[in-house]
Structure 1
């Protein structure tokens, strides 16, 4: 056996040992996040936990002025809105929550990880906080939760702003990065409850505009909270229920129930949404929609263009619900 072959075999052996050294503890759950540590890291003041219909819901209220509710998207949590909150809280009272199954909100005893259930918990939080009327800012699947709640409580909604708005089934043909597809196939086959932190960095890179430098905070936050015990299974439960909803109903029809003024911030680089901007506007048949286009922005406008995004939101809110 030549020296070259021996060296190659040695490298392969080292890689196998290193792989097993990572895989075995990951499979055993040793890399799972510690809840107490994450509460200390992500739920410091003004965070609070409100028990709503048996669920401990992570809620943050800060700022001053008319109330504004912010609902995050799939896979993330209320800290998705950090850049926007920093820019709006001098003018508005910002209410954020981790709607289950995401973030630090606790287990739902009803195991109801659906859009409808999330909307029920949103209403419970607003009731507990004694907020009779509120503007809503939402993105991605948080937009579906917002529409579900608003359709049942139109009298409580003063205005609505959407960035990523899934009114049809998300794109089934988008070109997902090969690294993500490979990692998903591996996890599905042998490691269903754990993804390494690099996976979440790839997700942000794959769904944002080219050249955007992903802030390390985002994949770290996503990794930490997705690796709470049982979190992946709960999130998969929600995603499956959502997929059924899009296949069996006209999800976008709910937009016609909205009568409050609407801002639609359309991100042209986002590849998740299937319908176009004009088709989305037409769905809001009973209200006025203000459309703002961002030609070079992906799925995370609140992080990709925080100043422009916040300015457009504030301009809209100042007209719809004057802060003074």
Structure 2
């Protein structure tokens, strides 16, 4: 019997075998990556938190819900006397003013609120998230409370809201306090030269922020369902000058407020649909206090200096060690300065000693 011959494999056969092995390895690697991505997404998946779940933890006897333009607005009212409206910034809530409320309320009535898309107020079905929308809402709250004239303080986005109110209705605003406020007149960015000073802390992490993440066409939509808690700690590290002042309780509060049912979607809508607004600077003739953290990485000090130049009657107070939210980071120092601006003189150690004050009309 004649046996068959074994012919060696051709070069083409070897290439085909190698290609199949590579393809199999790539497929396996892709499968592993997909499993890892799915596992990560499962870890970071966050359900919306219903309002009822948050009420007990984040309201007190001073909390109210006012129906304003078909929105149930969470409002906190403390103290008696001349009213002060306190307006928070983007990603924040009325709780950013808690320390100030405690120290202002013995002498004034403080009114803070969660703007639509924030805090316990939650989303607005009509997506009224512009600066002009918020200014109109705060004025409507004042109308419902029967308040004709008032002081106003705003931080960051809330500062732009306060500016808009003072611009449109100067007759109602007794004084204006702008705390690291948005809305400054445009200023050229300082030119960088070989002799420029080295980067300081307020420039760290400025290339990435929660704003850039939410505005991203892919990650913005993902963040409405997958919201890692560490993102909020990263966010607070950007807005605080001294990271040691960031507490776990603070991170949890910012996180819970964002997860309030509807707030993540509202944040996406708010930041991807900007509404223009105008400021009539000549209308702002009331006394103005501008407070600024020198280490602000979100809105740099030059914006506060531009406001100060635009408002010749204003006073500019700079805090060298503070970031974007000085009223939350260094509340004692900043509230003393604000009370002094309003005519209340206090001992600098007033939290631990008797309070001596005189109301200067």
Q: Same fold (TM over 0.5)?
A: yes
Structure 1 window deviating more from structure 2 (191-200 vs 301-310): it is 191-200
Cα RMSD for the two superposed structures? 3.2
- Residue in 1 aligned with 2:4? none
1:193-228: CA deviation from partner (whole Å, max 9, x where unpaired): 332221111111122114433022222111111112
How far, CA to CA, are the matches of 1:15 and 1:303 in structure 2?
A: 42
1:131 aligns with 2:130: no
1:278-301: CA deviation from partner (whole Å, max 9, x where unpaired): 32112225xx11111111210121
Structure 1 residues 100-179: aligned runs within 5 Å: 100-166=116-182, 167-168=184-185, 175-176=204-205
Structure 1 residues 1-324: aligned runs within 5 Å: 20-21=38-39, 23-24=41-42, 27=45, 31-166=47-182, 167-168=184-185, 175-176=204-205, 187-188=219-220, 190-242=222-274, 245=276, 253-274=279-300, 275-284=302-311, 288-318=313-343, 322=359
Contact preservation (8 Å) 1:50, 1:57 = yes
Deviant stretches of 4+, over 6 Å: 13-19, 169-173, 181-186
CA change 1:133–1:241 in 2 (3 A) is same
Contact preservation (8 Å) 2:79, 2:109 = yes
1:229-267: CA deviation from partner (whole Å, max 9, x where unpaired): 33122112222344x63xxx7x5x433321110001121
How far, CA to CA, are the matches of 1:220 and 1:169 in structure 2?
A: 35
How far, CA to CA, are the matches of 1:124 and 1:132 in structure 2?
A: 11
Residue 76 of structure 1: CA displacement?
0.7
Contact preservation (8 Å) 2:238, 2:297 = no
CA change 1:113–1:176 in 2 (3 A) is same
Structure 1 window deviating more from structure 2 (187-196 vs 130-139): it is 187-196
How far, CA to CA, are the matches of 1:318 and 1:296 in structure 2?
A: 25
How far, CA to CA, are the matches of 1:193 and 1:53 in structure 2?
A: 28
- Secondary structure (helix, strand or coil) at the match of 1:212 reads helix
- TM-score normalised by structure 2 residue count: 0.74
Contact preservation (8 Å) 1:187, 1:195 = no
Structure 1 residue runs without a partner (length 5+): 1-12
- Secondary structure (helix, strand or coil) at the match of 1:318 reads coil
CA change 1:310–1:35 in 2 (3 A) is same
Structure 1 window deviating more from structure 2 (226-235 vs 183-192): it is 183-192
Structure 2 residue runs without a partner (length 5+): 1-30, 191-202, 346-357
CA change 1:17–1:60 in 2 (3 A) is same
Structure number, greater radius of gyration: 2
